[in-house]
């Protein structure tokens, strides 16, 4: 697999998945602009993630059935239309509907990831997936500072408009340079969807890895949905630029993805999983122990953000490396199920985070956030040593 193609796939995944998170640090100004209350502001992020889950369950499995390049391009064009709508619509219901469609179209990234795994040989699959996922994770992490800066200079609508143009250009580029991949599966779409429940029941690696990551992704979404509310609120009074810088620091956590991919290739998945889950727990424990708006408290929050992003990045690569080692003929369906399950966790984290912060403040939010990775670690402790 040529290095330029790995770089292109990583960049494409980052650009696509960033659309899920542009609104996250802006929910305060977007909700007030379109007439939503603070208690319902979390729906802006939650509906985008729900749309993503819908796409993972009903669009990504088509990667085992239809030509992958065409599926990717159509999904990107759908995303660009929804982004234009989000940039110009000013009514809450219409904006939330556009957010839902953005989520559905953004699953093109999860067609690209198994596409990369098909091109990579078994001996380097973890490294290739790790590199592509590092691009995806950088997109997630850079989306927040980019949208904060764009909102500060040009208003919150700008980031959606710029992204719409970028996604159209990306669709044209991928259509021209990606090699075609026609799946060998010979079945109907309804039968394909029906097989997913069977795969979930008969693939313990999938169930476990999805459960682990649903827990840590719930904490991730909870933290990054509520941290901007904390930093722009009383005691902190951060500007959108300052929030952008805070989110930018968390990008350092993405370096864990390719490193962990190499560890998985060497058969060290189990100890790496312990480290990943422990890192997420520590990331939430630190601001619980040392909080406040003092320089020390803010420094601890920065360290917490880096550790959280690193732990979540590492656990995601470990999970995908495990399921991509299974049968190639079902890889898109496995990936769709894996991502859908953990994004349900993310949607729950976003909605619970908004409620927890409104009802009990930052401390209550963190206590709920630390419970998720603890549950994941307890469940992981029951896994047999020969498990993934």
What residue ranges do the domains of the chain occupy?
3-380
State the residue for tokens 């999970």. Answer: 319
CB atoms within 10 A of CB 227: 27
- Taking the C-alpha atoms of residue 216 and residue 348, their distance in angstroms, rounded to an integer, is 11
- Taking the C-alpha atoms of residue 281 and residue 311, their distance in angstroms, rounded to an integer, is 9
- Side-chain-side CA neighbours of residue 163 (13 Å): 34
Q: Mean pLDDT by 10-residue block, N- to C-terminus, for the chain (388 residues)?
A: 87 94 85 79 82 89 86 95 93 92 93 80 72 82 86 91 97 92 77 86 93 95 88 84 82 76 81 94 95 90 92 89 80 84 87 87 94 96 70
Q: Per the confidence metrics, is the pTM higher than 0.85?
A: no
Sequence length of the chain is 388
Is 185 exposed, middle or buried, given 0-12, 13-18 or 19+ CB atoms closer than 10 A?
Answer: middle
379 in Cβ contact with 315 (< 8 Å): no
**Residue 388: per-residue pLDDT:** 44
Residue closest to 248 by CA, chosen among 226, 224, 216: 224
- Taking the C-alpha atoms of residue 165 and residue 362, their distance in angstroms, rounded to an integer, is 37
CATH of 3-380, one of 3.40.50.300, 3.30.70.580, 1.20.1250.20, 3.40.50.2000: 1.20.1250.20
261 in Cβ contact with 133 (< 8 Å): yes
- Taking the C-alpha atoms of residue 191 and residue 171, their distance in angstroms, rounded to an integer, is 29
343 in Cβ contact with 217 (< 8 Å): yes
163 in Cβ contact with 19 (< 8 Å): yes
Task: Give 183's DSSP letter.
Answer: -
Give the three-state DSSP class for 225.
Answer: helix
Question: Angle 240-249/204-231 helices, nearest 10 degrees?
Answer: 150
Residue closest to 303 by CA, chosen among 281, 283, 280, 276: 283
Instruction: Label each residue of 310-350 as H, E or C.
Output: HHHHHHHHHHHHHHCCCCHHHHHHHHHHHHHHHHHHHHHHH
**Residue 224: per-residue pLDDT:** 87
Is 201 exposed, middle or buried, given 0-12, 13-18 or 19+ CB atoms closer than 10 A?
Answer: exposed
- Taking the C-alpha atoms of residue 282 and residue 224, their distance in angstroms, rounded to an integer, is 16
53 in Cβ contact with 343 (< 8 Å): yes
CB atoms within 10 A of CB 190: 8
- Taking the C-alpha atoms of residue 298 and residue 296, their distance in angstroms, rounded to an integer, is 5
**Residue 387: per-residue pLDDT:** 44
- Taking the C-alpha atoms of residue 248 and residue 242, their distance in angstroms, rounded to an integer, is 10
**Residue 350: per-residue pLDDT:** 84
User: Which helix (H) or strand (E) segment is 78 a member of?
Assistant: helix 68-88
**Residue 131: per-residue pLDDT:** 81
- Taking the C-alpha atoms of residue 59 and residue 53, their distance in angstroms, rounded to an integer, is 10
388 in Cβ contact with 208 (< 8 Å): yes
């Amino acid at each position: 697999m040529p290095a330029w193609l790995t770089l292109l796939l990583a960049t494409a995944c980052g650009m696509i998945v960033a659309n899920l998170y542009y609104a996250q640090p802006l929910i305060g100004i977007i909700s007030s602009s379109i007439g939503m209350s603070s208690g319902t502001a979390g729906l802006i992020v939650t509906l985008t993630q729900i749309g993503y889950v819908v796409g993972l369950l009903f669009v990504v499995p088509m990667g085992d059935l239809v030509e992958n390049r065409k599926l990717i391009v159509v999904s990107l064009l759908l995303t660009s239309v929804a982004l234009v709508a989000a940039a110009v619509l000013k009514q809450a219901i219409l904006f939330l509907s556009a957010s839902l469609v953005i989520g559905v179209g953004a699953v093109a990234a999860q067609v690209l990831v198994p596409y990369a795994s098909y091109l990579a040989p078994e001996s380097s699959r973890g490294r290739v997936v790790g590199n592509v996922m590092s691009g995806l994770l950088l997109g997630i992490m850079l989306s927040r500072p980019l949208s904060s800066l764009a909102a500060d200079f040009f208003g919150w609508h700008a980031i959606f408009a710029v992204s719409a143009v970028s996604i159209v250009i990306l669709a044209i580029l991928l259509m021209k340079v990606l090699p075609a991949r026609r799946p060998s599966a010979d079945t109907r779409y309804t039968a394909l969807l029906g097989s997913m429940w069977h795969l979930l029941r008969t693939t313990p690696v999938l169930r476990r890895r999805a459960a682990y990551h649903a827990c840590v992704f719930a904490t991730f979404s909870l933290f990054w949905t509520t941290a901007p509310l904390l930093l722009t609120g009383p005691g902190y009074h951060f500007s959108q630029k300052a929030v952008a810088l805070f989110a930018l620091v968390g990008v350092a956590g993405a370096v864990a993805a390719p490193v962990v991919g190499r560890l998985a290739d060497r058969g060290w998945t189990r100890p790496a999983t312990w480290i990943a889950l422990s890192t997420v727990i520590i990331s939430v424990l630190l601001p619980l122990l040392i909080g406040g708006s003092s320089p020390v408290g803010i420094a601890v929050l920065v360290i917490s953000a880096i550790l959280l992003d690193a732990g979540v990045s590492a656990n995601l690569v470990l999970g995908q490396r495990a399921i991509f080692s299974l049968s190639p003929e079902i890889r898109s369906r496995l990936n769709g199920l894996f991502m859908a399950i953990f994004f349900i966790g993310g949607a729950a984290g976003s909605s619970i985070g908004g409620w927890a912060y409104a009802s009990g403040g930052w401390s209550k939010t963190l206590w709920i956030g630390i419970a998720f990775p603890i549950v994941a670690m307890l469940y992981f402790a029951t896994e047999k040593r020969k498990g993934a």
